[in-house]
Chains A and B, each alone.
Chain A
Amino acid sequence: MKWKRIPQQLQRLIILAAIFAVLFLIVRSFLIPVDFGKYGHYRASAVEEIIAQGMHYAGQEACYDCHEDVFETKRGGFHQNVSCEVCHGPAFTHAETTDTAELEAPTGRGYCPVCHEYLPSRPTGFPQIVSASHNPMKPCITCHEPHDPEPPQAPAECTACHAEIARTKSLSHHVYVPCMRCHETPEEHKINPRKVLPGKPKTREFCGGCHAQDAPADKGIPRIDMASHNVRYVCWQCHYPHLPEAR
């Protein structure tokens, strides 16, 4: 199409549009950073700014260089995977400049319960205490070496770790049945709770010892016919033994 054939008013509009387009491109080239869009719809140099952020945590490997003796104590213990900085705090400056920044470790009773206070939501078997009744005046480190903790005395009762189950059982008809009557528990379980596990009754006849028709037990105990009552299951597959009232 010839330029002269375009109506005059359109010619002016086209010139104006072209000027705006050029102006836009000039302004845009000033506003948008050079590396924007180099690898995607973002400023590539932002990554360099982000990785320039200073560190606070040095990482366990940095501690190993100087404190090999502590690692020897920790090795094989329950705290072997607990990083030093969990208790001693961020150590990056300490690792870089050893003399100036001394690290501290919590020595009172306040810190250990962050992990070891009894909470029903904690996984069963994780060692927990109720700090209000667990030697309330003694700092934890008087009895427990934090780098290789082992209970100086094994917990006397199952409730020390299984308080949730104990509370449920205390409301049930099985309240006077001691844990150990059903759970064969090696003494080692109290020291090494997750490696050595207690047992469970393996047969129907175990519960039948009290609940069978001919069992030599108290009259008030509910009886079932062992030969016809859901023979294919072990009792605890249907009845929760810590609260057997559930129907």
Chain B
Amino acid sequence: MKYKVKESSKKLPDRRTFIQTLGSSCVLLLVPKFLFARENKKGAAWTYSNGYAPSEHYYGMGIDISKCIGCGRCANACKLENDVPREPFFFRTWVERYRIFEDGEVAIDSPNGAADGFKPGSAPEKNLVRNFFVPKICNQCDKPPCVQVCPVGATFKTPDGVVLVDSQYCIGCRYCIQACPYGARYLHPEKRVADKCTFCYHRIVKEKLPACVEVCPTQARIFGELEKKASPLVRFMRMNKISVLKPSLNTEPKVYYANFDMEVR
């Protein structure tokens, strides 16, 4: 039986042409990089109007649960410093009370975000096994889901690792509020834009502490540089066993807890 060899309609290029085309297309791949060259995105040369260079800093916060007395001065100071609405449900930082009873039941409460402190109340019927306060705040994630979902680029991470909201650019679509696994964002009832903890960015660029850290009477909150050797936060992380909230979500939070209980969510 004879086979009819079908001639290809197009001839394959010889080796020389192939290598030439390959080389030139590789060079062409680099063209957009030169055409659309932008300034350094990391902001290495960025200096704010007050002379502060964000790329030289990298901030985080440490929270020692065993030191928190639940006085709520942090939540109160935050509202005063940042003009957060006084009515309930709007918080940049708040304190939760965890009560773990003998039968394994866990009661979590935070009356008015602890801005007025906790009231003693009546003694519970069941025996308490463990009970403690957990201050909560925006975790200033290194991989922030809120930034990822913002459709207009109104929320962003600065070179010093703080996640901020551009209130002029925010359209109030609430995607970021949905995306935050820590419930750290809220919609400002008057401005109708998303709002969140900024680590008191207007203070820290002037070398002051965030308001909640300033007023904490027991030093349960520690604010500082993460990538410098001489920093109270680095010492805190060296001296304590450190946990973060929801590590499985890979958001890489920069709020570090010491003496963290399994039940804390």
Please give, as numbers and ranges, the residues of chain B lying within 8 Å of A54 by CB-CB distance: 202
Interface residue ranges, A against B (CB under 8 Å): 36-44, 46-57, 59-60, 79, 81-83, 85-86, 90, 114-115, 117-123, 126, 130, 164, 167-168, 243
Contact, CB under 8 Å: A167 / B123: yes
The residue in B71, B132, B219 that gathers the most chain A C-beta atoms within 10 A of its C-beta is B71
Contact of A118 among B73, B120, B132 (CB under 8 A): B120
B: interface residue count bin: 35 or more
Q: How does the 8 Å CB contact mask read for B9-43 relative to A, with 1 for contact and 0 for none?
A: 00000000000000000000000000000111111
**B171 interface residue per 8 A CB criterion:** no
Contact, CB under 8 Å: B166 / A123: no
Question: With A82-B217, A86-B217 in contact, do A114 and B117 touch (Cβ < 8 Å)?
Answer: yes
Contact, CB under 8 Å: A90 / B81: yes
**B136-144, B152-160, B181-189: which lies at the A interface?**
B152-160
7 pairs of A and B residues whose beta carbons are closest in the complex:
A42-B156, A46-B166, A121-B131, A53-B202, A114-B117, A39-B43, A82-B217
Contact of B39 among A39, A49, A50, A121 (CB under 8 A): A39
- Chain B proximity of A27: nearest CB distance (Å): 16
Question: With A57-B214, A86-B217, A114-B117 in contact, do A42 and B154 touch (Cβ < 8 Å)?
Answer: yes
The residue in B82, B98, B215, B219 that gathers the most chain A C-beta atoms within 10 A of its C-beta is B215
**B250 interface residue per 8 A CB criterion:** no
**B228 interface residue per 8 A CB criterion:** no
**B168 interface residue per 8 A CB criterion:** yes
**B149 interface residue per 8 A CB criterion:** no
Contact, CB under 8 Å: B71 / A36: no
Contact, CB under 8 Å: A60 / B214: yes
Closest to A92 in B: B81
Complexed CA–CA distance, A36 and B54 (Å): 18
Closest to A41 in B: B153
- Chain B proximity of A194: nearest CB distance (Å): 11
Contact, CB under 8 Å: B202 / A55: yes
Complexed CA–CA distance, A60 and B97 (Å): 28
Closest to A163 in B: B123
**B128 interface residue per 8 A CB criterion:** yes
Question: With A47-B48, A51-B48, A59-B214 in contact, do A121 and B66 touch (Cβ < 8 Å)?
Answer: no
Closest to B212 in A: A57
Contact of B81 among A40, A57, A79, A164 (CB under 8 A): A57
**B106 interface residue per 8 A CB criterion:** no
Interface residue ranges, B against A (CB under 8 Å): 38-43, 46, 48-50, 54, 66-73, 77, 80-82, 97-99, 116-118, 120, 123, 127-128, 131-133, 153-159, 164, 166-169, 198, 201-203, 205-206, 208-209, 211, 214-219
Please give, as numbers and ranges, the residues of chain B lying within 8 Å of A120 by CB-CB distance: 99, 128, 131
Contact, CB under 8 Å: B217 / A81: yes
Contact, CB under 8 Å: B81 / A56: yes
Contact, CB under 8 Å: A121 / B118: yes
Complexed CA–CA distance, A79 and B217 (Å): 8
Complexed CA–CA distance, A85 and B215 (Å): 7
Contact, CB under 8 Å: B203 / A55: yes
Closest to B220 in A: A123
Contact, CB under 8 Å: B198 / A50: yes
Please give, as numbers and ranges, the residues of chain A lying within 8 Å of B128 by CB-CB distance: 120, 164
Please give, as numbers and ranges, the residues of chain A lying within 8 Å of B38 by CB-CB distance: 37-38
Please give, as numbers and ranges, the residues of chain B lying within 8 Å of A168 by CB-CB distance: 127
Contact, CB under 8 Å: B69 / A115: yes
Please give, as numbers and ranges, the residues of chain A lying within 8 Å of B167 by CB-CB distance: 49
Contact, CB under 8 Å: B133 / A115: no
Question: With A41-B153, A42-B156, A120-B128 in contact, do A51 and B202 touch (Cβ < 8 Å)?
Answer: yes
Question: With A50-B198, A51-B201, A119-B120 in contact, do A43 and B41 touch (Cβ < 8 Å)?
Answer: no
The residue in A43, A46, A55, A118 that gathers the most chain B C-beta atoms within 10 A of its C-beta is A46
Complexed CA–CA distance, A117 and B46 (Å): 48
Closest to B50 in A: A51
18 extra interface residue pairs, beta carbon distance < 8 Å, beyond A59-B208, A121-B99: A39-B40, A42-B154, A42-B169, A43-B153, A46-B166, A47-B201, A51-B201, A53-B82, A55-B203, A55-B206, A60-B214, A85-B77, A86-B73, A90-B77, A115-B71, A117-B117, A119-B118, A120-B99
Complexed CA–CA distance, A238 and B38 (Å): 66
